[in-house]
Structure 1
Amino acid sequence: MTNDKPARAGSNAISLSDEEQVRQVLVDSVHGLWDVVNNLTRLKPSKRERYRVSIFGSARLQPGSFGYEETKRAAAALADMDCDIVTGGGPGLMQAANEGAAGRGVQSVGIRVDLPFEQEVNAFVTSAFEHRTFFTRLHQFVLSSDAFIVAPGGIGTVLEMTLIWQLLQVGHLENTSLILVGQMWPGLLEWAKQSMLSSDPPLASARDMDIPRCVANADEAIAIVREHHAAWLHRT
């Protein structure tokens, strides 16, 4: 004969009819999951097999345009340096970069986000990842890359560029190059300098404005990556 009794619900049990308490449990659980994710992202590989370059740029430029062909050429040159190429996996300059890397013995990676348009990964991606939010997608770019090349683009490209800039500013990214290619970026940097540094007190530090490196063309971007890649090889 045993004294087993039916298990009772704990005193902290919450009825599903108590909407406010149920909502709080869900919020606390989501925050707890973020703690787990943040802890896991502290783990870094001791050595990545190959240096990785993320290339951001417009989804709207078509094959045959100057921007498309220059991006394709730059990605091919970087792949010939044994660099993996990482993009958003979509059309336009993303496709150009993946196309340039294809067939050159490196990974041509596409990191996608779920959108009501641009659903298909371009045909030149050899390794694809899909995200439901821009936040997690951008986080994977940060974890995956040793350098970032930003070609001309729209609002999404500006978002990507400014996130990397901010992470470099606060030291969450280190030993990482941020290279802005083309005529649209110097004006943005000049606006930031005038708007942020001229107020009293300044809204940013002068050294923050030196983080992005503006270059006129693909050849200058390739030269910077070549130098940074050599330093990466020396460190590893």
Structure 2
Amino acid sequence: MIHMEHNRRERRQGQAVVRGNLVPSSTHDQRLLARQGSSDWVHMDPWRVLRIQAEFVEGFGQLAELPQAVTVFGSARTPENSADYEMGQALGRRLAESGYAVITGGGPGVMEAANRGARDVDGAVSVGLGIELPFEQSMNDYVDLGIEFRYFFVRKTMFVKYSCGFIALPGGFGTLDELFEALTLVQTHKVTSFPVVLMGSQFWGGLLDWIKDTLLGTGKIAAQDLDLITVTDDPDEAVRIIADADRARSHQRGQELEAAGVQIAEPQ
């Protein structure tokens, strides 16, 4: 008879699952960013490139045929009975009803709520892009397509490449990291027509005041940079902002094709 140990440590490492004593003491990201002694890195890092390449290939392959998608960020620590969880679930449902796939980090809390809301809608696609962490965090049960990444920067590429907008609910350092990375990409025109929406005016209010008073007030950003962020408490408004940007992008693309002499077939 096999006795399962329910308290054993477990970690996803790419496509593999390791448990118990096989769980390493550090993550692939930690080892990549570590400064090895002597010249060890010369021999190790070139081989890591192949693993990084494989993660990009796997991510591109799995996500290439997604419908239009929106990424939702938020805290993994949000309890199920909270207002933030309810807001995330309502948002996921409204996005799915509007024809968007919902992408999250695949974990618990707000991420679970958005995936769960999407799963409430027949035919919707609910996606989780997980990450290897020093502490255990499993993929939530409401994900239809889940991919585990070793490296944060590969995962971030997937969030941006396969999304037409970001919506951030209340969250911690991880949410702030993704938020400011998205804003930087939009500000520097690395991505265009890419709306960034913050949901929860009370939570985000202090940050927005600091951006206006300190960043803008001391000339660290331009006045038009404030227009890159929209704050709302209404899931319907958040979805409308995404959809309006979508239509504007399609219209602009049509004009560019027309100017280039490309004939656009009329819908049957």
State the TM-score bracket (shorter-chain normalisation). 0.7 to 0.9
The amino acid of 1:105's aligned partner reads G
Pair 1:217-2:234 in alignment: yes
Aligned mate of 1:160, from 170, 178, 188: 178
Aligned mate of 1:187, from 200, 206, 231: 206
Which residue does 2:69 correspond to in 1? 52
The 5 Å alignment of 1:163-178 reads: 163-178=181-196
Pair 1:79-2:99 in alignment: no
> What is the percentage of aligned positions where both structures have the same residue?
35
Is there any run of 5+ residues in structure 2 with no aligned partner, and where? 1-36, 255-268
For the Cα contact (< 8 Å) 1:90–1:118, is it kept in 2? no
Pair 1:230-2:247 in alignment: yes
Aligned mate of 2:135, from 103, 108, 117: 117
Q: Counterpart of 1:210 in 2: which secondary structure?
A: helix
Q: 1:33 to 1:72 in 2, by over 3 A?
A: same
Report the CA distance between 1:198 and its aligned residue.
Answer: 2.8
Q: 1:231 to 1:63 in 2, by over 3 A?
A: same
Which residue does 1:94 correspond to in 2? 111
Larger radius of gyration between Structure 1 and Structure 2: 1
Report the CA distance between 1:163 and its aligned residue.
Answer: 0.7
Is there any run of 5+ residues in structure 1 with no aligned partner, and where? 1-18
For the Cα contact (< 8 Å) 1:51–1:229, is it kept in 2? no
Pair 1:68-2:85 in alignment: yes
Q: Counterpart of 2:91 in 1: which secondary structure?
A: helix
Give a deviation string over 1:146-174, Cα, whole Å, max 9, x none: 01110111111111111101111111111
The amino acid of 1:158's aligned partner reads L
Distance 1:223 1:155 in 2: 27
Report the CA distance between 1:127 and its aligned residue.
Answer: 0.6
Report the CA distance between 1:193 and its aligned residue.
Answer: 2.3
Distance 1:128 1:57 in 2: 17
The amino acid of 1:186's aligned partner reads G
Distance 1:55 1:118 in 2: 21
Q: 1:212 to 1:25 in 2, by over 3 A?
A: same
Pair 1:207-2:207 in alignment: no
Distance 1:23 1:116 in 2: 22
Which residue does 1:198 correspond to in 2? 217
Which residue does 1:4 correspond to in 2? none
For the Cα contact (< 8 Å) 2:70–2:100, is it kept in 1? yes
Q: TM-score, normalised by structure 2?
A: 0.68
Q: 1:124 to 1:169 in 2, by over 3 A?
A: same
Report the CA distance between 1:196 and its aligned residue.
Answer: 2.0
Distance 1:30 1:203 in 2: 40
Q: Counterpart of 2:197 in 1: which secondary structure?
A: strand
